[in-house]
Structure 1
């Protein structure tokens, strides 16, 4: 038996199923626990063996609530699913370990980088990773002459799509943004996500690119795995640049026809498109469970190219 807790579980039904299948391959039975703000309205919570309510991850008692559950229920592995909870969980890793729970999260120094888009670009550029030209929006406002419009604006921190937009000219730069903003050269071309697995020592074991054929609500709806040596090499460079990174990360890039691939986003967690990498044979979830069980990590480079995922709406009913 291996007990796995998914936090901010929401709609991550397919992710929990990936772990169920991974456990079976290892000869284990997975007991899925899940939590959310409103577990009665979370499909992943409704499919879990156990579900409970938690406050927002910014609440002062968030970690304590999780720790209590992990200690009481003997949770083996905690898997966060959203960016905003990574910071508090990374800084509490040792407390969870003392309770017998491994938290799937990178070290705080890694989370500090990936949660700040300006630092992300700076760290990656210093490591030779191709990134778009980037600056603070106030610097571009002060001297737009050195930039070729249109440009892309996005917040320094945060997640999802808050505040993003295309700037067609200097006149589009507002002077009342509610948070710090960045400006980047506007990239054109197909967009890819690369799911990657780093073992407990931070060594990259696997990187699986997929073309984002179409997206909905920021997540891939239709995708196809592509074995692109350039993108796999970029993944290795990112792994080397992020000291303290481990487990599953994903990053996004655009393969610009003029500039080549340019990385613009990193998420230090399971991304929404991970089930495609799992089905293609990446074995990331299985590798994590193997680590928990004291077995050899097994994330694999022997995955299948050309695997296509097409998502559709389903429903979970209770009552």
Structure 2
């Protein structure tokens, strides 16, 4: 019998990348895609598509459970933090058809200040981070952080670098936060200010069962969607990324996830950035979901991580323990309206011609 999976956010890049990865690992999967946006849903590559209420609505849980029963779904896989939270709150209704970290771990990871405080208490490298209680207290926040500007301002919840920008002074931060409060309805108390991390930007995905890391891989962001037009100069969406082998990233990520509980289970996607001393520091953990674009690398790895996730969730043996499945020098290239491309470094010189007189001045993209 074909196993039937349900993937949320159908039609988005995150969902389509995940579905392609799952089909690459096991073409027999029957995949049902759901979304609350009819337009986005229409372009989903799922086998079946259902329009459901938003995961933030009161009607979502009942509608999802009814669909799961109707389509005999074996596993529901979320693709956003909002959907992770919604599924977490209805885990009793879903039973074995969800495979998520526990409620406490999800809640902690979705609050960046709470996570930073927790990791600091467990001696995990982080950026020194301070909560904002009111704009009048910003001079004291900056003084407590010490060091030299800039400092990093961002919202303590949300995704895609919400409210993130470097700040050189309390006055800049005050204006920035008041703008977000007035124009976007984000309260000043939703912000944190932290030490600025200028170094390399890493990602590490890992799969856990009962407190044991079974499988992990790692990547580095090299350039960003909209980075040139964002005040921050970056975003969580990479336009160019590559695979890396870096045991510092692995060990820090493993320690961070392990600190969340003695029997953590599920998938954890950890963001890290190097500080001024070159130490990778955890900036956030996406508990219960894969990174938006990194599943595109699965076909060049030894193990397909989403497929392993499904097998583990369905109670099948996976035969893995503490496996660091990292490879070097594969590049992911993403752009709007195109399917992601993955190329080895050697391939970048195949099928591309140059004019001798233009070689010296032609840009070659980010240096990695």
In the alignment, structure 1 residue 223 sits paired with structure 2 residue 241: yes
In the alignment, structure 1 residue 250 sits paired with structure 2 residue 269: yes
Residue 296 of structure 1 is matched in structure 2 by 317
Partners of 1:315 and 1:262 lie apart in 2 by: 32
Superposed displacement of residue 214, structure 1: 1.6
Partners of 1:144 and 1:19 lie apart in 2 by: 46
Residue 15 of structure 1 is matched in structure 2 by 18
Partners of 1:225 and 1:73 lie apart in 2 by: 37
Structure 2 alignment gaps of length 5 or more: 227-235, 340-368
Residue 130 of structure 1 is matched in structure 2 by 125
User: Which string of whole-angstrom CA distances, capped at 9 and with x for unpartnered residues, describes residues 158-199 of structure 1?
Assistant: 222322222111211226343221000111012111111112
Residue 292 of structure 2 is matched in structure 1 by 272
Residue 151 of structure 1 is matched in structure 2 by 151
* Cα pair 1:153 1:165 within 8 Å, conserved: yes
274-283 vs 230-239, which moves further: 274-283
* Cα pair 1:276 1:308 within 8 Å, conserved: no
* Cα pair 1:193 1:250 within 8 Å, conserved: yes
Superposed displacement of residue 285, structure 1: 1.4
* Cα pair 2:202 2:219 within 8 Å, conserved: yes
Superposed displacement of residue 143, structure 1: 5.2
Q: 1:132 to 1:228 in 2, by over 3 A?
A: same
Residue 192 of structure 2 is matched in structure 1 by 182
* Cα pair 1:287 1:296 within 8 Å, conserved: no
In the alignment, structure 1 residue 36 sits paired with structure 2 residue 35: yes
Superposed displacement of residue 305, structure 1: 2.5
Superposed displacement of residue 137, structure 1: 2.7
Question: Which residue of 307, 310, 314 maps to 2:333?
Answer: 310
Superposed displacement of residue 265, structure 1: 1.3
Residue 202 of structure 1 is matched in structure 2 by 211
RMSD: 2.2
141-150 vs 261-270, which moves further: 141-150
User: Which string of whole-angstrom CA distances, capped at 9 and with x for unpartnered residues, describes residues 15-67 of structure 1?
Assistant: 1011112224xxxx11111111224433662x111111122211111111111
Superposed displacement of residue 209, structure 1: 1.6
**Largest Rg, 1 or 2:** 2
Superposed displacement of residue 315, structure 1: 6.3
Partners of 1:198 and 1:37 lie apart in 2 by: 30
TM-score by length of 2: 0.77
Residue 69 of structure 1 is matched in structure 2 by 67
User: Which string of whole-angstrom CA distances, capped at 9 and with x for unpartnered residues, describes residues 102-149 of structure 1?
Assistant: 213211111110111111101111122100011013454345334332
* Cα pair 2:311 2:318 within 8 Å, conserved: yes
TM-score by length of 1: 0.88
Q: 1:294 to 1:134 in 2, by over 3 A?
A: closer
Aligned length: 307
Structure 1 alignment gaps of length 5 or more: none
Superposed displacement of residue 240, structure 1: 1.2
Partners of 2:326 and 2:195 lie apart in 1 by: 33
Q: 1:281 to 1:247 in 2, by over 3 A?
A: farther
